Structure 1
Amino acid sequence: MKRTFLTAFALLSLFNSAVKADVVPNPIDETKVVKHLNLSEVTINASRVNATVKDLPQKIEIITKRMIEASPAVDVAGLLKRSAAVDILQYPGVSAVVSMRGFSPSPSVKYTTILINGKPSGTDNIASIDLQNVERVEILKGPFSAQYGSAAMAGVINIVTKNSSGEIRGQLAMEYGSFHRSKVNLALGGSLSEVLDFDLGFSYNNQAKDYKTGENNLYDEKSAKSILDASTYGERMENSQFTTYNLNSRLGIVLAENWKLNVNGGYYKGKDIETPGNFWHTGGMDKKDIERFTTGFDLMGKMNGHQIEFSPFYSNEENKTYDVGSDGYGDFESVYKTYGFQLNDSYQIGNHSLAVGLDNKTERYESMNFDTSGAIEAPYQPDYKNIATGIYGQAQFKLLNDKLNFMLGLRGDNIKFKLDADNLLGNEKSEEDYWVFTKNIGAKYELIKGFSTHASWGDAFLAPKAYQVAGVYTRGTTTTEGNSDLDPEKSNTLDFGFGYDNYKKGIKLDVTYFTTHHKDKIIKSTLPNHNSTYINAQSADMNGLELLASYDIGALKDYDYSLRVFVNYTHLIDAKVKYQDSEGNDLTGEMRYVRDNTASFGVEFDNLKGFSTQLMGRYIGHRYENNYMYLADYSNYPTVAKQAIVFNNEEVRPDLINEELLRHPVSMEFDYSTSYTFKEKYIVGLTISNLLDENYTEKDGYNMPGRSVTAKFAYRF
């Protein structure tokens, strides 16, 4: 089977020769080709000083529009896991989070800032961000709190959307494939007049049948089955169907010479998204609805050398979860609102750039719990607001005939924590606030043409939630007291490396070493009066190597075509957590959920005249997770009796019941895609996801889909 797929890839690549015999070649737009292939000249939207990739000392990765179009992914989570060496934690049921450089991905604690066009995305769930309107994705690794405040400890992922002008063009695309998966995309954009341009997009995505898990493991299947359990191979993941809709719009208005207003709006709806929980449904099964509305505008202009941008934003995301699996819990509803503004002034002084600005962001969280009878009960925590106001400055200096790029950044954030009163929890309205200061510094020096060395250092922070800092509330028999002395989590990271970038020779290489100290990690603790509280009690140290390498054979023919082989690899040398046990002893343990090795790699061919084909691989390294696949009897606590879960009359992982920590196996996933455009209007394509039908998880027990095949047809107009 494996040999058959690889042979098919080779034959489809050779099909390009036959295509050339029947089609008159179209002239190549050199600008588009360079933009696609020479990424060093791309201006990074999230840099705040309008710097290009080649000038920034930090580790930057770009996922281009062509890479997005060639990927089988339908959302940002799927794209990142296939195209970048980052940690993804994905659950069935349109749910995923991301982190990088040894910071654990977690639905409750975020260490990576997600932006759309440089502004807060309005969601932490990257599986709910559709790719229909995405032009490219910028991945900035390292501490970026000096630019974006709280949560940018691991880095920043900035999603850049379409900004069309000129002749009005559009595309209608339809897909259908395995698990009765269907998708419709509609995009339209261009100029309505000399002063008006627009973008409009819609997507519909439906999976009408439960997906099937993989049947194989490329590496050490015996070891994999001991943890994944034999019961999960080649079986249906019950309760895994979903339907989503996405609508986005942009209206651009030229107000005057050098001044423009872009008004943006978006709507996302996930309807009856089935969430199976783990494969054995030990926590029951649910379904949920996700509804998100975003709006805002960008006023951009130039005046006396200043490039000014003012960007208010607002988003409202509602999640409703309904119990369908009798897990003993009722329904749950939450509302997450994000609103505020950004004001940035970037000024050019010769070859140097200076950006100063003001950020204001309010995060508002509200929730409601219902018991199994449908009656309202106390929520898990009070409703709250985190209000952050940040003042920053970023400077970029080009020295020594532009061979040396030096960057310096400073930022101060005032964060207010406001907790609402809640009669069901018994807490009163309360608030706290404090200041946090962060900074960064970096340099990049070109030793010889194309070969450079780079280094950067920065600190970052993660602000606690308001209920961790303020208030006193009681749920059930547990009273929780906020800790007004609680500090934000903090980190400092140093990285350095070297790179070689030669577009004419088709070579791109970067090797980076990083080391991070993460302190004041926030955990729950118990006070002498037996109430719960939050304290800063853990630290962690992470260090590793990152490799980015590619070679485009098309450079030998002046890019008449592109045949690129590439690898993007992260190796964690060490990732340890330091903590104390219940008796106060200092201990060191393995970081949970973080993979020791992560890589994306592959080969892609594009004749730049309509035909492309791509084979991509994803390496998912070992990771540590707590073992929870057993039933526990706490009646004689601290002695806990453990018994294996029974599924289809068979015990699940009976030999691992007493293992507290599991080292999950390596997985390898491959995807193949090909597409051909004829008569410049019609596109046909085929995608095979999880080519070798790998059975794997990103969270213990939450098995991902096995092999699926999807056909695509699109019409451009």
Structure 2
Amino acid sequence: MLYWPTAIFWFISFWTLAIHSSCNVLASEKEPIEVLDPIVITATASPTTLSQVPASVTIITREKIVQQQANRLSSILQQVPGIIVDEMGGRGGLSSVYLRGGDPNFTLIMIDGIPLNDPSNQRGGSVNLSILTPERIERIEIVRGPASIVYGSDAMAGAINIITRKGQSHSNYQATVEGGQFGYGRSTILAQGSAKDVLYSGSVAFTRNDEQVEGDRFQNINTGGNLAWTYDSSVNVQMTGQFTQSDIRAFPEGSGGSRLSILRATEQRLTKEFLVGITLTHQLSQTWKQQFSSNLFYRQEDVNNPGVLDTARTFRNPPTMFTTDFSRYRFLWTLTQAFAENWKLSGGFQLIYEDGQRTGTQQLTALGLPTDQRNDFAKTRTTPAGFLESVWKPFSHTTVTSGLRIDDPQEFSPEVTPRVAMSIQLLPETFVRSSYSEGFKLPSFNALGDPLIGNPSLAPEKSQGWDINVHQELFNKKIQLDLTYFHNRFSNVIDLDPILAKQNVFSLVNLSTVITNGVEFELTTLPYPWLEVQAFFTYLNTDILGLTDSLRNRPNTFGGFILNIRPNSRLHIRSELKAVGKRFDIQIPTTETTVPSYYRVDLTATLRVNDSWKIFVAGENLTNVQYEEFLGFEAPGVWGRFGLECQVGD
């Protein structure tokens, strides 16, 4: 239970600050500080300013990540409207993102534009956020709404692009050491600089967490870097690469976790990921630009799943051991022409080749069957695509974006995905955006090839989405408000056939159509130079057409408040209150179906001792709220950690 004094403190503090800030900004006569319009590279075929971007976009900067002293990607994304992030118990459990109510595998997640989604995994291609660490992140761009026009398959609900830190002309070296409860330890080394005409950046990080909750373990090493070279100001070459290796242990999905699991053995996942990419940008003239990029993503995962019992002696899911190997090659060429100051046209071609396989065994003898079964499969897929996008400004304060993409995936019919959007500046401080787009997702290799539940006749899943956003600035941008209504339709959604399941025959089919709609709200106010107050809230409604069932792990309401306090130039304090409504979930050992609502408080304080040294402390779940994000998977209680950072450079 949340301590009521803390809740009352937050309530009184927020409204006191809100009233006081209103009086303060009305009385202020200072000239506004000019803030440059950020450039967004994820939402369109060519970079576009945020005010003209044809989609609902959130940018999380490096400054915000440092203020939070985040040690994992999931905690960073939890402050974004429209996104719910869950963790299956402690750090070792699977962590997933649900964007505007879509399944986790409906969101494309990338590092420097290189997709991380693996269609050979058991989760249909969703990304486990727990193994993604923040030391290399420069900023994160979140695009809400179908984005297949830019990326093809997998961006049915939206896309998240993690943009890493690049090299710079002056040298910068940074080392961080952290420690804390539950055997937590983390160390990072980062170097940035230049060698003649080449800018470079590189980092190494090691993270370890012992048992936060029963059976939970986490160990991760991450190393990566960037190189950039510019020739004659018209040719730019950038390279990026990353290697990640993780060893995680937790109760398996569906088991009921540390509270409900009958079998107390845990699942082990050993994962290796490698990515490398090169992008060449050539400015042919003042109006013509072309870009060529090529990248590779490779992932190997060894899984040892002990199975799930539904009674003391009966397995519902058999013990399983397997290894997956997946590789993806992507080639992209884009040509952009600025015909006039008010019209830009981009087009190009993309080729994707995917190769995935799995080898392993399901222990069906645990189910009383006479023999075990291999769960092997091997799949390849080639998908060529072409696209065209127009950005037109018929008036000085109006931007119209439209585009069309055609994908021709191997063994499937061609997919056509359009988008049309408009951005209007109604008043100097009032902006309105509206967009309509479509998306698709090819069936995963696991869904097509799994010997037990796979179905080679599956069709692609589809999405249609539209939204309207109002962005309002007040009092010289000291108050900024965003309000968005969204509506998505996901059709041909892949799930187990419920009729066959009653006969103990399990097969995936294109089963249902899902409607999700709701409201996203975000408010940021700067009442004083030393104080920033942020509020965010999402209302989400979901409906499976023709069924009374509910979607798992999608609360109707979630949001929170963030206070960033800087009493002087050396000290920064960040406090966050996050609240999540109740949600539906099912776990094999129990008839419970409702995960209770909860809210928690986190606090971070960072002190810059001098120009080179910083120390910080962070407390998570300070009020020690006992809560779960999956039934039975108990979340850690109060958790403290601390760190020391040294930074030197030119």
Cα distance change, pair 326–452 in 1 and its aligned pair in 2 (3 A): closer
Q: Once superposed, what is the RMSD of the aligned Cα atoms?
A: 3.0
Report the counterpart of residue 570 of structure 1 in structure 2.
538
> Aligned to 2:169, what secondary structure does the other structure show?
coil
Q: Does 1:346 align with 2:336?
A: yes
Structure 2 CA distance, aligned partners of 1:153 and 1:330? 30
Equivalent residue for 2:519?
545
Q: Give the whole-Å Cα distance in 2 for the aligned partners of 1:323 and 1:466.
A: 20
Residue 292 of structure 2 corresponds to: 310
1:210 is matched by which residue type in structure 2? E
The whole-number CA distance in structure 1 between the counterparts of 2:568 and 2:475 is 16
Structure 1 residue 346: Cα displacement: 2.6
Deviation, structure 1 residue 60: 1.0
Counterpart of 1:52 in structure 2 is: 49
Partner of 1:680: 611
- TM-superposed CA distance for 1:46, in Å, is 4.1
Whether the 8 Å CA contact 1:551–1:565 is kept in 2: the answer is yes
Q: 1:261 — aligned with what?
A: 237
Asked if residue 448 in structure 1 is aligned to residue 427 in structure 2, the reply is yes
Q: Please say if 1:238 is aligned against 2:214.
A: yes
Matches within 5 A, 1:590-605: 590-605=550-565
Q: Which residue is 2:314 aligned to? A: none
**Contact in 1 for aligned 2:389/2:403 (Cα 8 Å):** yes
Aligned counterparts, 1:215-614, within 5 A = 237-271=213-247, 273-277=248-252, 278-279=257-258, 280-283=260-263, 284-304=265-285, 305-322=287-304, 329-349=319-339, 350-370=341-361, 378-380=373-375, 382-401=377-396, 403-416=397-410, 432-466=411-445, 482-483=456-457, 486-501=458-473, 504-525=476-497, 534-554=508-528, 561-572=529-540, 574-579=541-546, 587-606=547-566, 609-614=569-574
Secondary structure at the counterpart of residue 78 of structure 2: helix
**Greater gyration radius:** 1
Q: How many residues align?
A: 593
For residues 482 and 147 of structure 1, the distance between their equivalents in structure 2, rounded to whole angstroms, comes to 27
* Structure 1 unaligned blocks of 5 or more: 12-32, 212-236, 417-431, 555-560, 580-586, 631-656
Structure 1 residues 198 and 84: alpha-carbon distance in aligned structure 2, compared to 1, 3 A threshold: farther
Q: 2:629 and 2:373 mapped to 1: Cα distance?
A: 32
C-alpha distance in structure 1 between counterparts of 2:475 and 2:570, whole Å: 22
Q: Taking structure 1 as the reference length, what is the TM-score of the superposition?
A: 0.77
Residue 467 of structure 2 aligns with an amino acid whose one-letter code is: D
- Counterpart residue number, 1:170: 173
Cα distance in 2 for partners of 1:344, 1:380 equals 40
After superposition, the C-alpha distances for 1:104-161 in whole angstroms (9 at most, x for unaligned) are: 33xxxx1111122223135522222211100011111111111111121211111111
* CA pair 331-400 structure 1, distance change in 2 beyond 3 A: same
Match in the other structure for 1:636 = none
Relative to structure 1, the CA distance from residue 608 to residue 514 in structure 2 (aligned partners, 3 Å threshold; closer, same or farther) is farther
TM-score when normalising by structure 2? 0.84
- In 1, Cα distance between the equivalents of 2:472 and 2:35? 13
Q: CA deviation at 1:322?
A: 3.1
Amino acid corresponding to residue 324 of structure 2 in structure 1? S
Pair 1:534–1:94, CA change in 2 (3 A):
closer
Q: Deviations over 1:57-86 (max 9, x none)?
A: 421111111111122432212211245541
Query: Is residue 508–residue 550 contact of structure 1 (8 Å, CA) maintained in 2?
Result: yes
Give me the whole-angstrom Cα distance separating, in 1, the residues matched to 2:189 and 2:495: 46
Shift of 1:501: 3.0
Q: Residue type of the partner of 1:306?
A: W
Q: Matched residues in 2 for 1:589 and 1:288: separation?
A: 31
State the SS of the aligned residue for 2:636: coil
| Structure 2 unaligned residues grouped into runs of 5+ | 14-31, 119-126, 310-317, 366-370
1:686-717 deviation per Cα after TM superposition (whole angstroms, max 9, x unaligned): 11111211222222222222111111110001
Q: 1:205 aligns with which of 204, 207, 211?
A: 207
Residues 176-233 of structure 1 show CA distances to partners (whole Å, capped at 9, x for unaligned) of 111121110111102112x1110010111011x311xxxxxxxxxxxxxxxxxxxxxx
Cα deviation, residue 388, structure 1: 2.1
Displacement of 1:601 in angstroms is: 2.2
Amino acid in the other structure paired with 1:575: T
Provide the rounded CA distance (Å) in 2 between the counterparts of 1:150 and 1:339.
14
How far apart are the structure 2 equivalents of 1:468 and 1:321?
A: 18
1-structure distance, mates of 2:177, 2:451: 52
Partner SS for 1:147:
helix
Contact residue 82 and residue 100 of structure 2 kept, 8 A: no
Percent of residue pairs identical: 20
Tell me how far 1:685 sits from its aligned partner: 0.8
Deviation at 1:269, TM superposition (A): 1.0
Distance in 2 between the 1:698 and 1:294 partners?
31
Alignment CA distance shift 1:465-1:508 (3 Å): same
Q: Secondary structure at the match of 2:545?
A: strand
Aligned-partner Cα distance in 1 for 2:55–2:66: 27
SS at match of 1:433: coil
Q: What residue in structure 2 maps to residue 640 of structure 1?
A: none
Opposite residue 356 of structure 1, the aligned amino acid is G
Distance 2:148 2:595 in 1: 32
Instruction: State yes or no: 1:114 paired with 2:109.
Output: yes
- Give the letter for the 1:131 counterpart: P
- Tell me what 2:641 maps to: 710
Label 1:285 to 1:569 Cα distance change in 2 as closer, same or farther (>3 A): same
Q: Which amino acid in 1 is paired with 2:271?
A: I
1:262-295 Cα offsets, whole Å, 9 max, x none, are 2222111113x22233114435312221111111
State the alpha-carbon separation in 1 of the partners of residues 580 and 154 from structure 2.
Answer: 25
Letter in 2 for 1:577: I
User: Residues of 2 paired with 1:256 and 1:85: CA distance?
Assistant: 43
Local SS of the residue matching 1:179: coil
Where do 1:172-191 residues align within 5 Å?
A: 172-191=175-194
Q: Could you report, residue by residue, the CA deviation over 1:463-513 in whole angstroms, capped at 9, with x for unpaired residues?
A: 1135756x8x855xx8x6522xx4321121121131113583312111111
Counterpart residue identity of residue 520, structure 1: N
- 1:671 is aligned, of 599, 602, 617, to 602
CA distance, structure 1, for counterparts of residue 474 and residue 54 of structure 2: 17
Tell me the residue number matched to 1:654.
none
